[in-house]
Structure 1
């Protein structure tokens, strides 16, 4: 396997390689390793259309890798580990670039992305000791990332997703700045040396396979793992989320409100019909609903089975079920959508959502948590979980059902009844403390995030 990223990127640049040919070049063993470790979607590994979910999952993987590798380079630079000293001003630039990659990742996660992996391999450890190798690697990888976002923009435009087209260009522009700065550090003059970016890929899946062929995913080098957002220095970044109005790619690009998707349906043969909302649940979704929480966890169905961003989904009061064939056979190939991240998108800078360093006790209900209370810290998101919420999380589903915590406990007005409760947000849920209402479950109930996402996406009336 080639380990020199500059050489391999030049090969990809000078020859339009199909996804099937590129994957074949990685070797049968490498293909099997990638499949077994990552469980990539079939559309990533075949010449079939990619869904929005496919694209943002791959993008989130690449952003996780960038944060991780830049972190290693910054640590080595600060310890004097390079053969040529890296000036403090350049280290500060690397620090800001790393933070920007983290903001890219946070946006993708808020849009529902799930990284294919957050453990990577370093194909050539000299990127942590050779000044020239480090910055030439940054140049080549940023070229690949820019090309991946160009491919994403083209695919999003074909899907009539103007907001995602805009964001792809916003991210690609930042990646281009990173490459210019790396060129400047190398002594390349002019540092900005292209009038048009190279379109290396026709699909984002090709970019994922290039990372695998480079040896950064599933390779034989030392393993490194994404450190989580709590270690990121974000002080020098001013614009931390996509801004500006949506771009219209065509007169019909913006989908109209679709309140009709929740209209009652007729009972279907072989399905369980819920007269309370007038919808059917059947097949894998019914098996999952019955096995992993039923009404208390997921609520009633709000739609029939439908297609969304290339996925088969069904909305429930508190969740969105997604069918991912082959991804989780022990759970009927059903995964839960990241509705918690979707409804909190844009709130990342509010105090309860800001990551905390480990060792700083969180504040609950206006006071510090007593030492007697069990508290668990999740470095993946930089948040604590304790008290009744921790017990509920552990007993009724844990990571698979609720995901990681993405906020601390805080008080918030409930959109259902206007009352204020102590709540905590998770990737797939909102836990709410309702004193005296449900003692057998520590008075904890789940928020109706499925209904909120339906309202946010389609204009369906809520509640």
Structure 2
């Protein structure tokens, strides 16, 4: 399957929609009512409709578009983990489990800073969650949300690898792979916190989107981009001070990226 950004063919739109629906149905991602897409979901195509997509289509450069989507996804991740940590007591998370969340938060912020430094624009900085405030008061809901988000993030970064490579940017393709590895670690640690066994339950990470440009619509349909009163969470940059988090730049031995 070839990957293109902003496809307009009706046949390809329908194919992508069927692909997502089959993937979520067959891989157990639609858990606890947190499905990636509802039965009446719109085709997964970025169109000039709504504030988010209107800003997206103004980005002429395809690389910048991917970096901007990635930056915004990391802001959603920071927002999620920040609120989880702030409500750790209500969620019953402490000790090593809380340390895992704090490290994940720092790592997501470092990722956000990388995409920002390389030209990614912020497409949204206020988010919602499918289950609203329950996300941060009920551990089961918190973990289900975390699993869904990390699964989508993994899919987006795997799609980015293919797209960056096709654009002649193997450097960014490798960085996307490095970040995908970390998102997968977060997913496994979330399963540990939630008492799910085994923690490493995927032999292959599913690629649930055909292109990175599909990701915003997937996230919007899932309920993360519709802030309302009582379900509105704003992104705030957090400190990246954490002595346990290493490899803070995407070092690539063959090219020297990240040296110094």
With the shorter chain as reference, the TM-score category is: 0.7 to 0.9
Alignment of 1:81 onto 2:81 = no
User: For residues 206-228 of structure 1, what are the alpha-carbon distances to aligned partners after superposition, in whole Å with 9 as ceiling and x for unaligned?
Assistant: 11111101111134462111112
User: For residues 242-283 of structure 1, what are the alpha-carbon distances to aligned partners after superposition, in whole Å with 9 as ceiling and x for unaligned?
Assistant: 012357xxxxxxxxxxxxxxxxxxxxxxxxxxxxxxxxxxxx
CA contact (8 A) 1:34 1:212 kept: no
Q: Could you tell me how far apart the structure 2 residues matched to 1:12 and 1:40 are?
A: 29
> What is the match of residue 13 of structure 2?
none
Alignment of 1:53 onto 2:59 = no
Query: How much has 1:176 moved relative to structure 2?
Result: 0.3
Q: Could you tell me how far apart the structure 2 residues matched to 1:202 and 1:37 are?
A: 19
For CA contacts below 8 A with separation 6 or more, give which structure has more relative contact order: 2
Among 92, 107, 113, which residue is 2:99 paired with? Answer: 92
CA contact (8 A) 1:96 1:233 kept: no
CA contact (8 A) 1:39 1:116 kept: no
Alignment of 1:62 onto 2:73 = yes
Q: Which runs of 5+ in 2 are unaligned?
A: 1-19, 27-36
Q: Could you tell me how far apart the structure 2 residues matched to 1:210 and 1:244 are?
A: 31
Among 148, 154, 177, which residue is 1:146 paired with? Answer: 154
CA contact (8 A) 2:146 2:187 kept: yes
Alignment of 1:104 onto 2:111 = yes
> What is the match of residue 457 of structure 1?
none
Among 219, 223, 238, which residue is 2:232 paired with? Answer: 223
Cα gap change, 1:143/1:115 in structure 2, threshold over 3 Å: closer, same or farther?
A: same
Q: Secondary structure at the match of 2:204?
A: coil
Higher helix share: 2
Q: Could you tell me how far apart the structure 1 residues matched to 2:146 and 2:154 are?
A: 12
Query: How much has 1:138 moved relative to structure 2?
Result: 0.9
1:329-408 alignment runs, 5 A limit: none
User: For residues 38-59 of structure 1, what are the alpha-carbon distances to aligned partners after superposition, in whole Å with 9 as ceiling and x for unaligned?
Assistant: 6332389xxxx98111111001
> What is the match of residue 40 of structure 1?
55
Q: Secondary structure at the match of 1:244?
A: coil
Q: Secondary structure at the match of 1:240?
A: coil
CA contact (8 A) 1:95 1:233 kept: no
Cα gap change, 1:34/1:207 in structure 2, threshold over 3 Å: closer, same or farther?
A: same
Higher strand share: 1
Cα gap change, 1:101/1:204 in structure 2, threshold over 3 Å: closer, same or farther?
A: same
Query: How much has 1:241 moved relative to structure 2?
Result: 1.1
Q: Secondary structure at the match of 1:39?
A: helix
Q: Could you tell me how far apart the structure 1 residues matched to 2:235 and 2:53 are?
A: 15
Matched length: 226
CA contact (8 A) 1:43 1:50 kept: no
> What is the match of residue 6 of structure 2?
none
With the length of structure 2 as denominator, give the TM-score of the two structures: 0.77
Q: Which runs of 5+ in 1 are unaligned?
A: 1-8, 16-21, 248-344, 350-463
Alignment of 1:71 onto 2:78 = no
With the length of structure 1 as denominator, give the TM-score of the two structures: 0.44
Q: Secondary structure at the match of 1:197?
A: coil
Cα gap change, 1:169/1:128 in structure 2, threshold over 3 Å: closer, same or farther?
A: same
Query: How much has 1:13 moved relative to structure 2?
Result: 2.7
1:408-427 alignment runs, 5 A limit: none
Query: RMSD of the alignment, in Å?
Result: 3.2
Q: Could you tell me how far apart the structure 2 residues matched to 1:167 and 1:160 are?
A: 14
